[in-house]
Amino acid sequence: MSETRYTLKTFPGGGVAGVSIGYRNAEFVGLRLFPTYNVDELSGRLVCFQKEDFEQVATRRGLGGAIPRIGFGYVNGAYDVELHSLGVEVPREYLRDLEFFSITAPASQLPNLKSALKARIENLLLRNLALGLEAQHAALATDPANYAEGHTNEPAAGQKWTNPSSNPESAIANGIEVIRDSIGIPPNVLILSRKAYQALRRHPMLAGFGSPVTPRLLEEFFGIENVLIGAARQLERSLIPDPEHGEAAEPEPETGRSFYDVWGNSAVLAYAPLITGGIDQPSFGYTYTIEGHPLLEAPFEDRQKKGHVLSACYNRAAYVTCPGAGYLITNPV
């Protein structure tokens, strides 16, 4: 599995670096369903889409005839960007340890050692923030309430994909046609939870199609442009609620907690543009993100704890903007 890498760009004069995720960890797939749409305001109009936004309209007109017109989505309430921040405390002793370690090395290497530590901390911050967003994406995409009527299905006991006599190809093909009937074009992405993917790897229907059963092979098998595996895991949390936001203030100790699959037991079909030119492109969902985020902030000194704090923020909120552009298979395994 590839490790997360981030491309940094430094703004002049402030010591604050903006961050764009150039190559995400392979298990973070939610942005493929909810591509980023950059905004300048914390709240604004939420643009959603319906089947007419996918329609091919007649453009021919006669001499002196009126110009055909189309709509531009429709406003369905408002978006509210959520404020997400995280910091890492770095004791002064860490830097002293680096200085001691560098005694046997040329003094010129010390800045590189400190830079390497800073990069590791920044990567830790950004990965944790990205994992939180992945969890939000998964929660939206695996909730049947976020889909149009008839756009969800749960296989019967005899059709679970762990059953050799089941037909996952038919289940996916049905979802493709449901989306085509709804918006006029087929889905271009399929996200399989790890449980669903493992069941397909062992399914006899795929035994003669090729080996090993990879996402690329499944793209050919199902006729889907992009097949991705939602393999992200998160540690179970018992959280002390924050009265103001209804979220976590501090987690309880790790004792007794275990990891769970963020994407659960699911298969999600959807249409979402691979490269977004703006909010005018219909999509199953969007992630409204403050321009320049995620953002690495300049380190500051915490004299009380005799150290420095490196922090980052990722202000965003994801929304389903076209329920008819998705299809959810719940508990396929």
DSSP 281-315: S--SEEEEEETT-SEEPPPEEEGGGTEEEEEEE--
Q: Is the per-residue pLDDT at 163 higher than 80? A: yes
Query: Contact 226/234 with Cβ under 8 angstroms?
Result: no
- Smallest CA-to-CA distance from 207 within 194, 221, 195 is with 221
Higher pLDDT, 213 or 122: 213
Could you tell me where the DSSP H helices lie in the chain? Answer: 30-33, 92-101, 110-141, 168-183, 194-201, 215-222
pLDDT, one tens digit per residue, over 177-204 is 999 999 889 999 999 999 999 999 999 9
Q: How many CB atoms lie within 10 A of CB 277?
A: 7
Assign 236 a pLDDT band (cuts: 50, 70, 90).
confident
- pTM summary value: 0.77
Chain segment 269-278, per-residue pLDDT in tens: 999 988 765 6
Listed range (70-79, 101-110, 235-244, 320-329) with the worst mean pLDDT? 101-110
Weakest-pLDDT range from 259-263, 287-291, 308-312, 329-333: 308-312
* pLDDT value at residue 27: 67
Give CA separation, 261 vs 74, 136, 179, in Å: 35, 13, 26
Model pLDDT for residues 40-69, shown as the tens digit of each residue: 888 887 877 665 545 555 566 566 666 655
Domains and CATH numbers, the chain: 5-62+72-330 (3.90.1690.10)
Whose CA is closest to 126, among 4, 251, 263?
4
DSSP classification of residue 146 = G
- Considering the chain, what is the average pLDDT of its residues? 78
Q: For tokens 């290497």, name the residue.
A: 109
Least confident of 69-73, 132-136, 320-324: 69-73
Q: For residue range 113-160, what is the model confidence (pLDDT) as tens digits? A: 566 777 777 788 888 889 999 999 999 999 999 999 999 999 999 999
Lowest-confidence region among 15-29, 111-125, 181-195, 205-219: 15-29
**pLDDT for the residue 201:** 93
